Amino acid sequence: MKKPRALIIRAPGTNCDVEAAYAFELAGAEPSLVHINRTISGQVSLRDYSIFMIPGGFSYGDDLGAGKVMANELERRLHDQLMEFVNRGGVVLGVCNGFQVLVRAGLLPVPFGGQRVSLLPNESGRFECRWVRLSVEPGNPCIFTRGIDSLDLAVAHGEGRLYVPAWTAAEIVPVLRYASSDGSEPVYPDDPNGSFEHIAGLCDASGRILGLMPHPERFVRSSHHPRWTAVGDFSQASDGLIFFKNAVDFALRA
């Protein structure tokens, strides 16, 4: 069976691209790490891929705001390629800085609808690097979270607080929310940034475009979890890997 091809773009400052490629490889895809300039120049085309990922890091140093420069490149120089890719059923994943890019490029929450939400500095005023508990929104259409109810993932960001203006709240499709261990309303540090309705990730109406602040690519082996040696039967040993397997399975059926 031919493996789905996954394009992972990188730029100066991205630092999670190798981990993302490894995750897709484990999940059964054929990943390609490509500098965004090669895509802009036409040397590499989205037409040859079924999965497109923007990884985490600090693209272009976040000098004009988190993800802003890469968002401008997607919006102004790759718009036609992206629109064709999305319209033919392609899968898009943006993690951390990649989520910031998707939001600023107007790919979420409404594809090609302009920027409608934002990701602001954490309420703590600090860079938050910790493991968090997440709940999956029941009945959401996201292809990445099929078969998942809850999971642990790591966050590492300074600007992850989702801001949603009242006029666009009805367009939001929550996928992941920060959760507390006892099921109560999450407060800091369970919710590391003070996000709107504790949302950690959202998708478009089709469920094929997902943006999230936590890092699924950092938990694809049991030994990635800080408690893996303390739990005899760690049943959620590969929480993050499920995201990538679901994307690959979807691409195979498409």
Q: Which backbone phi and psi does 253 adopt, to 5 degrees?
A: -85, -20
Q: Which residues of the chain have pLDDT under 50?
A: none
pTM above 0.85, yes or no: yes
pLDDT of residue 233: 55
Specify whether 217 is catalytic. Answer: yes
Residue with tokens 């203006």: 165
Give residue 150's identity as a one-letter amino acid code. Answer: S
pLDDT of residue 228: 78
Max Cα–Cα distance, the chain, nearest Å: 51
pLDDT of residue 229: 75
Q: How far apart are CA 2 and CA 74, in angstroms?
A: 28
pLDDT of residue 76: 94
pLDDT of residue 156: 97
Annotated domain spans of the chain:
5-253
Given the residues 96, 157, 203, 225, select the one marked as catalytic: 96
Specify whether 215 is catalytic. Answer: yes
Encoded tokens for 7: 């394009």
CA contacts within 13 A on the Cβ side of 128:
26
CATH of domain 5-253: 3.40.50.880
3-state secondary structure the chain: CCCCEEEEEECCCECCHHHHHHHHHHHCCEEEEEEHHHHHHCCCCHHHCCEEEECCECHHHHECECCHHHHHHHHHHCHHHHHHHHHCCCEEEEECHHHHHHHHCCCCCCCCCCCCCEEECCCCCCCEEEEEEEEECCCCCCCCCCCCCEEEEEEEECCCEEECCHHHHHHCEEEEEEECCCCCCCCCCCCCCCCHHHEEEEECCCCCEEEECCEHHHCCCHHHCCCCCCCCCCCCCCHHHHHHHHHHHHHHHC
pLDDT of residue 19: 97
Q: How far apart are CA 111 and CA 203, in angstroms?
A: 10
Given the residues 157, 198, 215, 224, select the one marked as catalytic: 215
Q: How far apart are CA 16 and CA 13, in angstroms?
A: 10
Q: pLDDT tens, 6-34?
A: 999 999 999 999 999 999 999 999 999 99
Given the residues 75, 157, 217, 224, select the one marked as catalytic: 217
Q: How far apart are CA 94 and CA 97, in angstroms?
A: 7
